[in-house]
Amino acid sequence: MNIAIVTCLILVLIGFAYQVGWSRSRQLVPAGERLHSRPNYHGSLVAIWAAVPALLILGLWALFGDAASRAFIISQLPPEVANLSGPELSQAIARVRQIASGFGVVGEPVPHEVSAGQALRQFHLLAFALVIAAAAGTGALALYTARKRISARLRARNEVERFIRLLLIGCSVVAVLTTVGIVASLMAEALRFFSYVSPADFFFGTVWNPRFSSVGAGTGEYGLLPLLWGTLMVAAIAMLVSLPVGLMTAVYLTQYARPKIRDAVKPVIEVLAGIPTIVYGFFALVSVGPFLAALGDLLGLEIRATSALTAGIVMGIMIIPFISSLSDDIIRQVPRAMRDGSLGLGATLSETITRVVLPAALPGIVGAFLLAVSRAIGETMIVVLAAGNSPYLRLNPGEPVSTVTVTIVNQLTGDTDFASPQSLVAFALGLTLFLMTLILNVVALFIVRRYREQYE
Amino acid sequence: MAETSIQPPAASSTSGGTLRTIRAGLARRHARERRFRAYGIAAICAALSAVVILFGMILVKGVPAFTQATLRLEVFFDPEIIDVEPKPVQAAGQSTADFRREMLDWQRQVTLVNWNRIIEAALRRAAPDMEFDARQGLSIVETSERFVLRDRFVGDPDLLGKTIKLDLLASANADNWLKGNIDRSLPDAQQQLSAPARALADHLEETGLIRQAFAWHIFTNVDSRSAPASAGLAGAFVGSLYMMLVVLVLAVPLGVGSAIYLEEFAPKNRFTDLIEVNINNLAAVPSIVFGLLGAAVFINYFRLPLSAPIVGGLVLTLMTLPTIIIATRSSLRAVPPSLRQAALGLGASRMQTVFHHVLPVTYPGILTATIIGVAQALGETAPLLLIGMNAFVAAVPATPLDQSTALPVQIYLWQGNENRNFFEARTSAAIMVLLGLMIALNALAIFLRARLERRG
């Protein structure tokens, strides 16, 4: 169906309906009646009445139109063709459609194709006309009803506002539906996975070896622990880098720096937050990894170029602005009186900070820390590029590791069947990741909110 | 600390013991103060140097990739080599499908022409006194350039028998050699190019027939595996553009609508609390989980096409929705209540108050939120990998339903290319393009914000 024509028709319908409502309500004014709502609300109300049923019918056709035309073609084809299956049937249908569209087919078309093509063209024309007529008819009927309803006492504004309110509620429900969709899809696929592998083997297994089905029989071993260990190790290194740097940056910028320096430095550090993670991954792979390996050689340590250390350090850099701007907010919420009191009693600024300001801000900082941990756990591209993808339980941070997120990417971008445990395990991993970050976020948001209330 | 601050200074001047204790500790305390300050400065320096090193590395690696060794050759369209029938013309009454087939047959003939011989002849004319065989000569010209010749000919069959000057890309290996990315002292066995080819490249550079030209094709070509030097970002760019359009069209109305409802209309009850907690958590869900949602729901359940920008756009919409909602809500909250009270007091309905008076004040905030959300979506990679956007696509997508890739995914694909020497630079160049776009978006946000706020 021609989208441009339909859009134009809808716009014409809406414009016309608005005009009808507007002028009808205006006619009431000279009759000496006082309108409850202004004419533009009457116009909008009629337009809504006219557009909604028409759009509903068009929407139904958009959903089921293709299936209807397919069924029609099959009914037109001779039985020996119609009983074909799979690609052959699709090809026959495609040929008929090409004839109907006037594009033609390669070679001499078979008579039954020509007749089916002609029938299909008529069917399309008829269906298009019918749908348009139905949409226009219901639209016109609704328009007529709405026009008849117009009177001076009609609360057109209230009705329009109720409609807008419904639309707004619909918008807010999308966010809820997203969460429902995430939980439902992860749960459903994870349960399918658990029908192959027992949850105990998954959650407490220490070997990760999902043999790909092409290699041979057997489903492989799916132990979560090596991945979890890698995830936690990378996150821990990241926090070791970002917490001191981020926190001290926030402390210095809020307590020591002159406003000019603060205004210059803060946006530059926040640039780090806007850089895409793939760029950090490339940076880790190309610069930090080789640098750390060379440094390790110099110190006599074995550090691989792609390792937990590389990924962790770069992830730490990524999280610095996150920690620093969150702590910045939190430190600024500590009442000034507490700080001034401590300074007035003769404490130095650093003593004030470490013994008064930071302890008072501690709950908020813990919240920020937890939020940062949840980001580090869920981060994907840096570890995909720089952690080395080696799912073994190892203590040495200079060795490559693998994480939950890396494994999700690996399992879903391979050439495996979607229904195989090799692919489904990604959803079990995703569910684990989702729950971990959810718990961290809920706790962190709770702490931060409590902290805010304390000083407000 | 405790005993020093309890004593007021006036009292301690009389009791010399305490004063002495304070004085004795003073130097130590001041040293500690200085140390603390130094930590702060060190932290800021660390964060700033991370920014500088990151951008420096990308620039140093990426800038050379924007110029590319290009040959300027006089190409003779030799009728002896190009021995094909005349280009077919659609006869009256011929179906489009048949004409297309005839055209394809002709193009196949043209493709089967040995274009390499034409390039070789052009090379021999350019360097008559150099000795090289056909393979050696062709190894310095990118393999895609014979298709450039073919396409020129298909576009203009009158070129037969004529000589024109053409700019042809040098191969990736020749580019590496001429830019000095390869150690020139390595023995023959470790060089990508044979000795005569290297000599030919050097000779052509000396005679000015190879020069470093600005690599426009990075912006106009699509990705290529067989001809790395001709690989460009056009497909990825258009794919990203479609996705951003989907995000703009869906995320902004949904996000703003939902923010308006939650902030202005929602009654305080369980349901709105649920939506609220839910949005806060959704904002912190790792992006890869949205990719899993896309794979399970959009791809596997609704059977939307793999690798299509529309699916990527939908996933990114869900991901950026919380960002836009939260930012819009905070700018709605910043509108002074007096504005609402004044409008309500004059008899405006709540809907009129919000849409006529409150919302216009928040336009700068909503705009910033939108641009930040789009920038975030533009740089996101991980969820796109899970819906198949890491497929190799050598075409510019014509509609959002076609297969395509995206800018960050292209970076991911290029960094994994085997020809590291060449693609490290190309990847950095792609990163520069991506970062350039993001900086431009953010600058636009700052500029528009400043303008709108001044007017308001």
The answer for residues whose C-beta is within 8 angstroms of residue A125's C-beta and 6 or more apart is none
pLDDT band with cut points at 50, 70 and 90 for residue B452: confident
Q: Are A243 and A251 in contact (CB under 8 A)?
A: no
B382 CB neighbours in chain A (<8 A) are: 277, 380-381, 384, 405, 409
Contact state of A165 with B300 under an 8 Å Cβ cutoff: no
Task: Kindly determine whether residue B40 and residue A285, on different chains, have CB atoms separated by under 8 Å.
Answer: no
Q: What are the structure tokens assigned to A297, written together?
A: 């050689």
Cβ neighbours of B253 in A, within 8 Å: 171
List the single range of A46-60, A76-90, B162-176, B245-259 with lowest mean pLDDT.
Answer: A76-90
Q: What is the pLDDT of residue B455?
A: 59
Q: What mean pLDDT is reported for chain B?
A: 87
pLDDT, average across residues A196-211? 86
DSSP string of A167-224, one letter each residue: HHHHHHHHHHHHHHHHHHHHHHHHHHHHTTS-HHHHHH---EE---TTT-SS--EE-S
Split at pLDDT 50, 70, 90, the class of B147 is: confident
Distance (Å, whole) CA A344 – CA B300: 66
User: Which residues belong to CATH 1.10.3720.10 in chain A?
Assistant: 208-455
Note which residues in 201-260 of chain B have CB less than 8 A from chain A. Answer: 253-258, 260
Query: Helix A421-455 crosses helix B270-284 at what angle (to 10 degrees)?
Result: 110
B256 CB neighbours in chain A (<8 A) are 171
- Residue A324's contacts (CB-CB under 8 Å, 6 or more residues apart) are A245, A246, A247, A249, A250, A253, A269, B47
Query: What pLDDT does residue A179 have?
Result: 92
pLDDT at B14: 53
Cα B50 to Cα A177, A182, A242, A317, B15: the distances in Å are 39, 35, 12, 7, 52
Is residue B398 a contact partner of residue B310, using CB atoms and an 8 Å limit? no
The alpha-carbon gap from A309 to the nearest alpha carbon of chain B, in Å, equals: 16
How distant is the Cα of A312 from the closest Cα of chain B, in angstroms? 14
Q: Is B429 on the interface with A (CB under 8 A)?
A: no
Backbone angles phi, psi at B76, to 5 degrees: -105, 120
Token pair in block for residue A276:
């895409």
Q: Does domain B234-455 have CATH number 1.10.3720.10?
A: yes
- Give ipTM to 2 decimals: 0.88
Query: Is A185's CB within 8 Å of B261's CB?
Result: no
pLDDT: which is higher, A451 or B151: B151
Cβ–Cβ < 8 Å for A199, A224: no
Nearest-Cα distance to chain B for A73, in Å, is 20
Inter-chain residue contact A320 with B50, CB threshold 8 Å: yes
Residues 356-415 of A with CB under 8 A from B: 371, 374-375, 377-381, 384-385, 405, 408-409, 412-413
Residue B299 near residue B306, CB atoms below 8 Å: yes
**B interface mutation test: which of A44, A97, A162, A172 has the most B CBs within 10 A?**
A172
Alpha-carbon distance A364 to A345, whole Å? 26
pLDDT given for residue A4 in this prediction = 83
Q: Is-contact B103 B94, C-beta < 8 A?
A: no
Distance from the Cα of B201 to chain A's closest Cα (Å) equals: 29
DSSP state, residue B159: G
B337-363 tens-digit pLDDT: 999 999 999 999 999 999 999 999 898
Q: What is the mean pLDDT of residues B84-89?
A: 84
What's the pLDDT tens digit per position in B164-176?
888 889 988 888 8
Mean pLDDT of all residues in A279-294: 93
> How many residue pairs bridge chain A and chain B with CB atoms within 8 Å of each other?
271
Q: What is the mean pLDDT of residues A326-351?
A: 91
pLDDT: which is higher, A44 or A419:
A44
Tell me the percentage of chain A whose pLDDT exceeds 90: 42
**Mean pLDDT along residues A218-241:** 90
Question: CA–CA separation, B419 vs B422, rounded Å?
Answer: 6
Q: Are B263 and B356 in contact (CB under 8 A)?
A: no
State how far residue B96 is from chain A, nearest Cα, in angstroms.
Answer: 5
Alpha carbon B133 to chain centroid, angstroms = 41
pLDDT (0 to 100) of residue A149: 86
| CB count in 10 Å sphere of residue A219 | 14
Q: According to the model, what pLDDT value does residue B431 have?
A: 94
CB distance from A175 to chain B under 8 Å? Answer: yes
Checking if the pLDDT of B397 tops 80, the result is yes
* Residue among A136, A150, A152, A170 at smallest CA distance from A45: A150
Say what the pLDDT of residue B402 is.
87
**What 8-state DSSP symbol labels residue A329?**
H
Tokens 């912190």 belong to B284
Please identify which residue in the block is written with the tokens 């553009």.
Answer: B241
Tell me: the pLDDT tens digits for A126-182? 888 888 889 888 888 988 888 888 888 888 889 999 999 999 999 999 988 999 999
Interface of B with A in 83-102 (CB under 8 A): 95-98, 101
Cα A373 to Cα B286: distance, rounded to the nearest angstrom: 11
| pLDDT band (50, 70, 90) for residue B2 | very low
Residue A216, token pair as written in the block: 């041979």
B39: contact with A, CB 8 A cutoff: yes
Quote the pLDDT of residue B451. 83
Average pLDDT over every residue of B433-449: 89
Phi and psi dihedrals of B210, rounded to 5?
Answer: -110, 125
- CA quadruple B177, B183, B188, B189: dihedral sign: negative
> Which of B26, B32, B34, B36 to probe by mutation at the A interface, max A CB count within 10 Å?
B36
CB contact under 8 A, A182 and B293: yes
Distance from CA of B275 to the nearest CA of A (A): 6
Question: What is the mean predicted confidence (pLDDT) over B186-198?
Answer: 85
pLDDT higher than threshold 50 for residue A369: yes
Chosen for mutation from A171, A415, A435 (greatest number of chain B CBs closer than 10 Å) is: A171
The residue extents of the domains of chain B are 2-63, 66-219, 234-455
Cβ atoms of B71 and B170 within 8 Å: the answer is: yes
B128-143: pLDDT as tens digits = 888 888 888 888 888 8
pLDDT at residue B230 tops 70: yes
Q: Is B51 on the interface with A (CB under 8 A)?
A: yes
| Token pair in block for residue A50 | 């006219």
pLDDT of B3 above 50: no
Instruction: List Cα–Cα distances, B137 to A102, B80, B247, in angstroms.
Output: 49, 21, 49
Lowest mean pLDDT among A204-218, B317-331, B397-411: A204-218
Residue to substitute from B21, B48, B53, B54, interface A, most A β-carbons within 10 A: B54
- The amino acid present at B26, given as its one-letter code, is L
Give the angle subtended at the CA of A11 by the CAs of A10 and A13, to the nearest 5°: 65
Q: What is the mean pLDDT of residues B96-117?
A: 86
Residue A224 has pLDDT above 50, yes or no: yes
- Write down the CATH number for the domain with range A208-455: 1.10.3720.10
Interface of B with A in 368-427 (CB under 8 A): 375, 378-382, 385-386, 390, 408, 411-412, 415, 424, 427
Q: Do B381 and A375 touch (CB under 8 A)?
A: no
A446: number of Cβ within 10 Å? 13
Q: How far is A245 from chain B (nearest CA, A)?
A: 5
- Residue B23, judged by CB atoms within 10 A of its CB (0-12, 13-18, 19+), counts as exposed
Contacts of A103 in chain B (CB under 8 A): 95-97
- What's the whole-model pTM score? 0.87
Confidence of residue A428 (pLDDT cuts 50, 70, 90): very high
Using 50, 70 and 90 to split pLDDT, how confident is the model at B7?
very low
Mean pLDDT of chain A: 87
Q: In a 10 Å sphere around its CB, with 0-12 CB exposed, 13-18 middle and 19+ buried, how is residue B318 labelled?
A: buried
pLDDT digits (tens, 9 = 90+) for B263-305: 999 888 888 888 888 888 898 899 999 999 999 999 888 888 8
A-chain residue closest to B36, CA distance: A350
- pLDDT band of residue A383 (cuts 50, 70, 90) is very high
Nearest to A165 among B101, B265, B381 (CB): B265
Q: Are A25 and A142 contacting, i.e. CB atoms less than 8 angstroms apart?
A: no
Range scoring the smallest mean pLDDT among A21-35, A243-257, B227-241, B391-405: A21-35
First to last CA, chain A: 59
Interface subset of B 324-343, CB within 8 angstroms of A: 325
B257 interaction partners in chain A (CB closer than 8 Å)? 167-168, 170-172
Query: Which band of pLDDT confidence, cut at 50, 70 and 90, is reported for residue B158?
Result: confident
- Contact B42/A at CB under 8 A: yes
**Three-point CA angle B154, B159, B163, nearest 5°:** 135
B100 pLDDT higher than 90: no
Query: Does the pLDDT at position B8 exceed 70?
Result: no
What one-letter code names the amino acid at A199?
A: P
